[in-house]
Structure 1
Amino acid sequence: MQNKLRSLRLARGLTLEQLADAAGTSHQQILRLEKGERRLTVDWMVRLAPPLGVEPKDLLPESQTAAPPSPAPAQIAPNQDIIPVRSAARGGDEQRMFLEDGPIDYGPRPPVLRNVRDAYAIYVVGESMAPRYRPGYLLHINPFKPPRRENGVVVYKKDNAVLIKEFVEATSTELVLRQFNPAMELRLDRDEIAEFHTVVGTEEA
């Protein structure tokens, strides 16, 4: 089945050669992708979407981007193949982590997040959770699964700081977390917390 690559390229006013240069490939490869002679993988969609000014999912054929038929839940994203990847950067006097604006990449959706709405992945920054989570590890996140003791969690504070820690417990007044390096227990006032999400998988970089 042909994808929407050719129509999007023409709408952008790009030649095969121009799109190939922007994506770091050859015009022959672009032509094969447009004709459906080569499979449009997630890696190709991520490479081609920026010069076309679209999201990677916009390259899929109409039949794959249409809303799923009943009885599939209507709220699930139409494209089940990829999830956004987030990252955080250190900043400020305390070298805290702050989430970067928007996705920095897209990656394959793991089976554990197959039908999870708003699922995402996030890169680990810093050594505070080593050796469990080392810098560059990619964590798969289910924003709706309640954490259990010893689960990894991503905590978003109201001041936009981001923490990746181990869950201990949550009470009505505080969130208790464990850090590995240096080893310590953190107690955060619930009024400081915007939300926290559960880590359900890990991928080494």
Structure 2
Amino acid sequence: MMSRLREIRKSRGMTLADVAALCVPPTTAVTIGRLETGTRQLTVPWIEKLAVALQVEPRELIAQEGDTSIAVAAQLTVEGAQPLSETLQIHAPTPLAGTIGLLVRDSQGDYRAGDHLWLEQLPPPRFAEAINTDVLIPRQVGRFVFGRLVATEGNRLHILPARPGARQTVIADAPWLGRVQALIRRF
């Protein structure tokens, strides 16, 4: 079984200590390093803990037969394009279970026409997790509101639409909301 743990960690710019601290319960950087190199066995419980820490589906941590990947040529930093210290691969994204999509038809805010957004559907008890992120919220009669969730007050959600000059919208009793998890953009 080939692990993609190091590749995913490095693509997110995280250190071994960062991943170790995000594990529940926290572990050590040495343990994460051993899991990456294979000197410690990557078991199902470890895969589940690491998937939560790295915010990926557990299956993404294991290289699958037929996975498509792209070799990384360089990395873009504040100093410009820089060479890599080791070879890295980019793998096609895999949607999380329960992911829903949103198509951007007209550019607004950070989103351009033609973008595809992947949204994680959250139930009401988890709405506070989405504060200060972009969300899609269903309204009555099949309508929706999209914008930045700026606050929650009881059963009310305060949304700042992405359109310039738009006023804040308050939605009460939303059955769910979709938090933006991924942006797919083609040029």
Length-normalised TM-score, structure 2: 0.43
TM-score (norm 1): 0.39
